[in-house]
Amino acid sequence: MSSRKTKILSIGACLVTMFCIGIVYLWSVFQQPVIDHYGWSSSAVTMVSSAIIFFYVLGTLISGFIQDRTSPRLVVIVGGVLLCLGLFLTSLLGSGTPWLIYITYGVCAGFGVGFGYSGALNCIQKWYPHRRGFATGISVCAFGLATVILGPLIELFINKAGVPGAFRILAFTFPLVVIVMGLFIKNPTQEYLNSLKMPAARLKQRQYAPREAVRTLEFWCLGLSLLFLPAAYMMIIPRVKTLGLLRGLSENMTTITVSLTGVASAVSRLAAGYVTDKIGGARTIWILTAITLIASVLMTFAEGGLYIAAVMLIVCGYSGPAGIFPTLSTNAFGTKHSGTNYGLAFMFLGVASPLFTMISNVVSAGGVETGNYTAAFVIAAAGCVVPLVMLPIFDYARKKNRPRDDAMVEKDPSMAQ
Read off the pLDDT of residues 156-169 as tens digits, 9 standing for 90 and up: 999 999 999 999 99
**Which of the pair, 328 or 88, is modelled with greater confidence?**
88
At 371 the pLDDT is 57
Q: How confident is the model at residue 411 (pLDDT cuts 50, 70, 90)?
A: very low
Predicted pLDDT of residue 199: 55
The set of residues, in sequence order, having a beta carbon less than 8 Å from that of 182 and lying 6+ positions away, is 13, 17, 73, 74, 76, 77, 79, 80, 119
**Which amino acid would we find at residue 297?**
V
Q: What is the pLDDT of residue 29?
A: 82
- What mean pLDDT do residues 218-239 have? 89
Tell me the whole-structure pTM to 2 decimals.
Answer: 0.79
* pLDDT value for 114: 93
User: For residue range 20-60, what is the model confidence (pLDDT) as tens digits?
Assistant: 998 877 887 888 889 999 998 877 887 888 889 899 989 99
Can you give the pLDDT at residue 219? 94
What pLDDT, in 10s, does the model give residues 107-123? 999 999 999 998 998 88
The DSSP annotation for 251-301 comes to HHHHHHHHHHHHHHHHHHHHHHHHHHHHH-HHHHHHHHHHHHHHHHHHTTT
